[in-house]
């Protein structure tokens, strides 16, 4: 008999300090912009892309199974989402499941907070589990998951991205999906062991390509490759969320052997705890970082303004780092994209070739951080106007067509500034090349990003300088007004103790 599989996407990385609202309409981030995609539309948008759900689609085809894809909801990182988005996703998924379904394959983020619930994925999975207590459920999660009991207790198999920038999304869906197929076929009996440490890892320090995560992940990958366990994943956590269950975590899926799963789990996390100091990022003043960049030989020098990264819920319009670049008179610079629809409209009205003075950026206040938006007065020539569309050529979201809203380029003589109507973290050179700027030929490339720029820009970088600008993604975690975080937590509380069970 033909099996029937259901698949769905629900992804939002919630920065609880962000002033950027998250309306339901924004959950069509990839594809339509008027809310979640459904059915054939969802399939058209996600098939053959580098996303977990694309692997699920391929697995279903390989298995000769019927596939139902009721909903794909995916929004850019921003403030807590309306509870309604969970209702929409849960209703669509539960309806499809109730029509008859042999297994569910979910592509979730893992760091979603709604206005109603501090654990969006746990809320969703709990609702599905309530109507389908025995349904096999595979879940693919982002590396920035804040893992919770509600997520783990209501899933059968969980696997997480092992890269940051995330370039193994398809592979993650494939890992989770294939384990679930083996379980369906009666070949394996997945059991999961998980744990979350009281450690806020720094986002500039926790990538699996860096230590100590590299050594930790080597253990997970070795065990999974050798077949000792079915899946092993480590989550760096998403630390820009004022909720209790933030923390460095890991999950191991083993074939019936819970003790074996726990041994690997505690071995990995014990190393993370012992080396927790390596997850701390030292913050230095913006002036110092820019003057260090100024002294570097050769280029491009990538200036990474990571305190205001829309990829983590930032406004993408905090001007402090560009202001310092102009003040220290750096030359042959491209910068952006800065999100400022008002300035884009002014440049379009002025037209290409016009000289114009703008009050650029700084339009959004950040009340949770007690920061006001500060526009930057800047004069230049409107160099180019675009519709903001380009196709990703780099390794992250390869082949996906992006639209970042209309764009305009302001040329000050020394700095070419890309201004866009929409928010976009520059992980691909397309944001510049589509506007006629070749970042490879610039001495300096100023980007508002944290880690994902590495996908598209690291190959052309001579130097990379991390700049700790202000914003809702500040690298100084002591600036966040924490209220709900579990305490003590390292490094905010340097004396925090490990909560790992003592091993016998």
What is the rounded CA–CA span in Å between residue 231 and residue 389? 38
Report the phi/psi class of residue 439: left, alpha or beta, with left for phi > 0 and alpha for psi in -120 to 50: alpha
How many Å apart are CA 463 and CA 461, to the nearest integer? 5
174 is a site residue for Zn ion (CB under 5 A): no
- Closest chain position to Zn ion (CB): 144
Q: Would you state the structure tokens that stand for residue 88, as one six-digit string?
A: 């929409």
Span interacting with Zn ion, options 137-145, 150-158, 289-297, 446-454, rule CB under 5 A: 137-145
DSSP collapsed to 3 states, 247-264: CCEEEEEEECCHHHHHHH
The C-alpha atoms of residue 423 and residue 316 are separated, in whole angstroms, by 7
Stretch that binds Zn ion, among 135-143, 170-178, 259-267, 419-427 (CB under 5 A): 135-143
For Zn ion, which stretch binds (CB under 5 A), given 64-72, 139-147, 329-337, 473-481? 139-147
Hey, which residues does 414 pair with through a beta bridge? none
Shortest distance (Å) from residue 239 CB to Zn ion: 12
Q: Which of 12, 127, 144, 434 binds Zn ion (CB under 5 A)?
A: 144
189-205 b/e with 16+ CB inside 10 Å = b? ebbbbbbbbbbbbbbbb
| Residue 410, Cβ density class (10 Å: 0-12 exposed, 13-18 middle, ≥19 buried) | buried
Tokens representing 53 are 């759900």
Among 26, 63, 118, 142, indicate the residue that binds Zn ion (CB under 5 A).
Answer: 142
Sheet holding 355-360, edge to edge: 355-360, 376-386, 407-411, 415-420, 333-339, 444-447, 301-305, 463-467
Residue 169 or 180: which CB sits closer to Zn ion? Answer: 169
Q: Which is nearer to Zn ion, 13 or 416 (CB)?
A: 13
Query: In terms of CB distance, is 143 or 266 closer to Zn ion?
Result: 143
Contact range with Zn ion by CB under 5 A, out of 60-68, 92-100, 134-142, 478-486: 134-142
- Using the rule CB under 5 A, give the single segment among 113-121, 144-152, 188-196, 479-487 that binds Zn ion: 144-152
Q: Which is nearer to Zn ion, 311 or 439 (CB)?
A: 311
Distances (CA, A) of 198 to 16, 105, 141, 239: 19, 30, 20, 11
Q: Which is nearer to Zn ion, 144 or 178 (CB)?
A: 144
Complex with Zn ion: residue 312 or 346, whichever CB lies closer: 312
> Cβ 19 to Zn ion, closest distance in Å?
21
- Least distance CB 317 / Zn ion (angstroms): 22
CB neighbours of 75 closer than 8 A, spacing ≥ 6? 11, 12, 22, 26, 27, 29, 81, 85
DSSP E strands in 284-399: the ranges are 301-305, 333-339, 355-360, 376-386, 389-391
For residue 441, CA distances in Å to 237, 334, 381 come to 36, 10, 20
- How far apart are CB 341 and Zn ion at their closest, in Å? 26
Nearer to Zn ion, 307 or 313 (CB): 313
43 or 113, CB closer to Zn ion? 113
Size of the site for Zn ion (CB under 5 A): 2
> Please, what is the minimum distance in Å from the beta carbon of residue 449 to Zn ion?
12
| Nearest partner of 194 among 152, 156, 237, 162, judged by Cα | 152
* Least distance CB 166 / Zn ion (angstroms): 6
Of 63 and 425, which has the nearer Cβ to Zn ion?
425
**What's the closest the beta carbon of residue 467 comes to Zn ion, in angstroms?**
21
Chain residues in the site for Zn ion (CB under 5 A)? 142, 144
């Amino acid at each position: 008999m033909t099996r029937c599989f259901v698949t769905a996407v629900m992804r939002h990385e919630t920065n609880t300090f962000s002033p950027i609202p998250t309306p339901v309409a924004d959950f069509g981030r990839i594809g339509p912009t008027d809310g979640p995609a459904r059915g054939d539309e969802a399939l058209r948008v996600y098939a053959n892309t580098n996303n977990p759900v694309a692997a699920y689609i391929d697995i279903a085809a390989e298995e000769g199974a019927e596939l139902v894809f009721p909903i794909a909801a995916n929004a850019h990182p921003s403030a807590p989402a309306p509870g309604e988005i969970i209702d929409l996703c849960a209703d669509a998924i539960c309806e499809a499941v109730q029509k008859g379904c042999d297994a569910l394959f979910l592509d979730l983020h893992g760091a979603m907070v709604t206005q109603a619930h501090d654990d969006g994925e746990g809320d969703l999975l709990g609702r599905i589990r309530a109507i389908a207590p025995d349904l096999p459920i595979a879940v693919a999660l982002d590396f920035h998951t804040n893992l919770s009991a509600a997520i783990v207790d209501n899933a059968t198999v969980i696997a997480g991205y092992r890269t940051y920038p995330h370039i193994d999304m398809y592979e993650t869906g494939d890992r989770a999906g294939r384990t679930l197929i083996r379980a369906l076929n009666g070949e394996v009996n997945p059991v999961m062991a998980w744990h979350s440490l009281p450690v806020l890892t720094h986002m500039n320090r926790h990538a699996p390509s860096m230590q100590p995560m590299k050594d930790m992940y080597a253990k997970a990958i070795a065990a999974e490759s050798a077949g000792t366990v079915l899946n092993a994943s480590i989550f760096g956590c998403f630390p820009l969320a004022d909720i209790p269950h933030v923390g460095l975590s890991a999950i191991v899926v083993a074939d019936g052997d819970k003790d074996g799963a726990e041994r690997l789990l505690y071995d990995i996390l014990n190393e993370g705890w012992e080396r927790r100091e390596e997850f701390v990022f030292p913050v230095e003043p913006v002036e110092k970082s820019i003057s260090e960049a100024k002294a570097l030989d050769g280029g491009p020098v990538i200036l990474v303004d990571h305190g205001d990264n829309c990829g983590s819920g930032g406004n993408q319009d905090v001007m402090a780092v560009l202001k310092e670049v102009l003040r220290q008179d750096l030359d042959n610079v491209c910068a952006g994209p800065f999100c400022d629809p008002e300035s884009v409209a002014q440049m379009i009205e002025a037209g290409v070739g016009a000289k114009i003075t703008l009050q650029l950026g700084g339009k959004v206040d950040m009340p949770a951080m007690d920061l006001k938006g500060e526009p930057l007065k800047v004069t230049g020539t409107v160099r180019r106007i675009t519709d903001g569309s380009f196709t990703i050529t780099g390794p992250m979201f390869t082949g996906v067509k992006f639209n970042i809203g209309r764009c305009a380029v302001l040329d000050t003589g020394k700095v070419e500034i890309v201004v866009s109507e929409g928010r976009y973290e520059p992980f691909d050179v397309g944001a510049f090349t589509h506007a006629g700027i070749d970042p490879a030929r610039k001495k300096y490339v100023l980007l508002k990003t944290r880690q994902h720029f590495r996908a598209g820009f690291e190959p052309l970088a001579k130097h990379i300088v991390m700049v700790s600008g202000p914003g809702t993604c500040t690298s100084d975690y002591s600036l966040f007004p924490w209220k709900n975080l579990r305490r003590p937590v390292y490094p905010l509380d340097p004396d925090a103790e490990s909560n790992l069970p003592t091993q016998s």
